[in-house]
Amino acid sequence: MTVSPTAPIGVAVVGAGYWGPNLVRNFQAAPAFRLRWLCDLDVDRARRVLGGYSTVQVTAHLDEVLADPEVHAVAIATPAGTHLPVALAALRAGKHVLVEKPLAATYAEGLELVEEATNRGLTLMCDHTYCYTPAVLRIRELLHSGELGELHFLDSVRINLGLVQRDIDVVWDLAPHDLSILDFVLPPGVRPVAVAAHGADGIGAGRACVAYLTLELNNGAIAHIHVNWLSPVKIRTTIVGGSKRTLVWDDLNPSQRIAVYDRGVDVASPDELGADERRDMLVSYRSGDMVAPALVEREALRTMVDEYARAITTGTPALTDGRAGLRVLEILRAASVSLTEGGTMIKLDEGRMA
């Protein structure tokens, strides 16, 4: 669907539950869009989201939304199990599509969406909102520019006393955030090649409520992700260790979300050592300054909405396009296999991670 680069993009939001109202608010605030419809099976709930004076149309019927020629784009905020039929219907109606994480319930379903969008020349974007936070955008910049040096490790903790989901385990509920961030910030050419997952169900929920994912990267680095529904305290921290500097991101510390430490371990190369010293590698500890970069605070969802508009109007892939969503799904698939096999390291399909 051709969209004028100057006229507002007509958009519809499908789903008025937990995430839908956030999308509604940001689309209404974005000059690049004009919100035309809010679609939800509970029409009264949709009307409450919009308020009594809104001119946005409300319906329980997706077909009514997709039949509107003034709707150029659709944003889907429905349960993962419905992403395939809803997104597929929108794409076949010629609409650009934004899908809440995860892209689909399975890799095969996600691939079907990517191929449909590609064949029709339409934008397919994943709402990996955390990737658009000022902190993650800065981490991506520092890794891609080489300021942190070669990546050695990434360690992420996402724990809280959370809602135990009925249909998915903690890996599928929380880890997509961290996996999408990992995919987003990794330097060009660096990618995960294998994953092992260990989980536990201490409360008898019938699914893992605590899990640890370990990912091997093709440059020899390692990434570790801890997700947990049962922690009495909320922690959102990520440590990114590079050969030059180490970065600490504490998402719950608004006064200092990011700290970059010029501290680490240096090992002399054997070529630099004398004959008598080559038996023992020289290890030295570097203790330099800590810098807390200033971040321009902006709602991540607003930045994501702007990126959706850019992708639609330019016809170029979004930073978190459908293929980024597929890479996350491939890791989740392999992690689920590993969980059932007691933590076996599962190799990722290279073709799926391309």
Residue 300: which residues within 8 A CB-CB, separation 6 or more?
129, 130, 131, 132, 133, 134
pLDDT of residue 63: 97
Q: Which three-class secondary structure state does DSSP give residue 45?
A: helix
Domains of the chain: 9-122 (3.40.50.720), 131-300+330-353 (3.30.360.10)
pLDDT of residue 272: 58
Per-residue pLDDT tens digits of the chain, which is 354 residues long = 556 667 899 999 999 999 999 999 999 999 999 999 999 999 999 999 998 778 999 999 999 999 999 999 999 999 989 999 999 999 999 999 999 999 999 999 999 999 999 999 999 999 999 999 999 999 999 999 999 999 999 999 999 998 888 888 999 999 999 999 999 999 999 999 999 999 999 999 999 999 999 999 999 999 999 999 999 999 999 999 999 999 999 999 988 999 999 876 666 665 655 555 554 566 666 677 789 888 988 999 999 999 999 999 999 999 999 999 999 999 999 999 999 999 999 999 988 887
Under 8 Å between Cβ of 152 and 227: no
Under 8 Å between Cβ of 192 and 347: no
Written as six digits, the tokens of 252 are 């719950």
Place of tokens 């955390």: 130
Between CA 127 and CA 84 the distance in angstroms is 15
Q: What are phi and psi of 126, to 5 degrees?
A: -95, 135
Q: Which three-class secondary structure state does DSSP give residue 215?
A: strand
Q: What are phi and psi of 33, to 5 degrees?
A: -120, 155
Under 8 Å between Cβ of 201 and 100: no
pLDDT of residue 275: 55
Between CA 177 and CA 328 the distance in angstroms is 9
pLDDT of residue 222: 98
pLDDT of residue 2: 55
Q: Which three-class secondary structure state does DSSP give residue 123?
A: coil
Q: Which three-class secondary structure state does DSSP give residue 168?
A: coil
